[in-house]
Amino acid sequence: MTEYAVSVRDLTKRYGPRTVVDHIALDLLPGRICGFLGPNGSGKTTVLRMICGLLIPDAGGGSVLGLDLARDRLQIKAQIGYMTQRFGLFEDLTIRENLRFVADVHGLDDARAAVNGALDRLGLASRADQLAGSLSGGWKQRLALAACVLHNPRILLLDEPTAGVDPQARRDFWDQIHALANDGVTVLVSTHYMDEAERCHDIAYIAYGAMLARGTGAEIIAASGLFALTGTGPDADRLAHRLQTLPGVDTAAAFGASIHVCGRDANALRAAVAGVAGIDWHVTAPTLEDVFIDLMRTAPDNSLISR
């Protein structure tokens, strides 16, 4: 029997009449990176906080590292690194001072060695005496990750950790995440970036608190039932609004000088674009972005329904 690092069932959280997480089930294998996707307000952060013990579910439960989610919250917290959306360290302390504070909070036996190790591992040693408040977004991100892994957690929960940082900083961050996964750390990372989703081993997509898709990127695309065409020609990129209104076209979007359309019925989609003069059409594979936009388009808004 496979032993999951995280295995939860029917996780539910309500605030008054509003259900923000609606019977979510999620299994994570050790050493895997799961991309957690969904629009703002979909319940991603709430799920992360329930898994790490910061919030108590109104219903459901499960296990984290073999520990019961309800009974063993303190033991679970000790083995999880949680990186919040906002930078949560002290801006008037240096990088080294921040990490030393975190080491003391965790009660690490050799705090000095742990801090020096984190500085070296995350490439922060040359800036160790720089105030955290003077760092750019990418360097703050590195510091936050260093603080998360200081106590050698077995699970990392990362809540939109790369929002607002440049592409090079995002790539460096993901290199670090894959290195941690190679060492056996299980990672659940929420993101809005499709290129980041593609760097994950598998994906979970939620909207309005409900799980809509789960699997690898290829599995999710294959299960979507979408068919896609790309059109090129004069002013192809200006046709999105017109094509969007045609029967058989579910979505239409410009990509550079071309137009990309999707639908669930291949014949209806071809018929819809056949009358567009001067555009050459060819079949292309649907993307994860196509799938997630389609899921959002068809998802029922149950966020105000009490359950």
pLDDT attached to residue 299 = 72
pLDDT attached to residue 95 = 97
pLDDT class of 301 with cuts at 50, 70, 90: low
Phi, psi for 153 (deg, rounded to 5): -70, 155
Are 33 and 201 within 8 A, CB to CB? yes
CATH number of residue 140's parent domain: 3.40.50.300
Rounded Cα distance between 16 and 304, Å, is 10
Q: Is 119 helix (H, G, I), strand (E, B) or coil?
A: helix
pLDDT attached to residue 137 = 87
Domain count along the chain: 2
In a domain, 304, yes or no: no
The pTM of the full predicted model, rounded to 2 decimals, is 0.89
- Regarding whether 109 and 35 lie in a shared domain, the answer is yes
Question: For residue 34, how many other CB atoms are within 10 A of its CB?
Answer: 22
**Domain interval for residue 241:** 227-285
**Partners of 61 in the beta sheet?**
9
**Partners of 14 in the beta sheet?**
19
pLDDT attached to residue 58 = 96
In a domain, 248, yes or no: yes
Q: Which distant-in-sequence residues (6+ apart) come within 8 Å of 92 by Cβ? A: 131, 132, 133
- Regarding whether 242 and 202 lie in a shared domain, the answer is no
Instruction: Calculate the average pLDDT of the chain.
Output: 92
CA distances for 145 relative to 154, 242, 277, 286, angstroms: 14, 46, 53, 33
pLDDT attached to residue 111 = 94
- Regarding whether 149 and 66 lie in a shared domain, the answer is yes
pLDDT attached to residue 1 = 42
Is residue 306 predicted with pLDDT exceeding 60? no
Is residue 114 predicted with pLDDT exceeding 90? yes
Is residue 220 predicted with pLDDT exceeding 50? yes
In a domain, 263, yes or no: yes
Are 192 and 284 within 8 A, CB to CB? no
- Regarding whether 139 and 184 lie in a shared domain, the answer is yes
> pLDDT tens, 48-93?
999 999 999 999 999 999 999 999 999 999 999 999 988 889 999 9
CA distances for 175 relative to 108, 179, 181, 290, angstroms: 26, 6, 10, 26
- Regarding whether 22 and 132 lie in a shared domain, the answer is yes
- Regarding whether 144 and 18 lie in a shared domain, the answer is yes
Mean pLDDT of 87-114: 94
In a domain, 43, yes or no: yes
> pLDDT tens, 145-157?
999 999 999 999 9
Are 170 and 199 within 8 A, CB to CB? no
Angle at 251 between CA 250 and CA 256, to 5 degrees: 155
Are 81 and 90 within 8 A, CB to CB? no
In a domain, 297, yes or no: no
pLDDT attached to residue 85 = 85
> pLDDT tens, 158-203?
999 988 788 888 898 899 999 999 999 999 999 888 889 999 999 9
pLDDT attached to residue 39 = 86
Is residue 247 predicted with pLDDT exceeding 50? yes
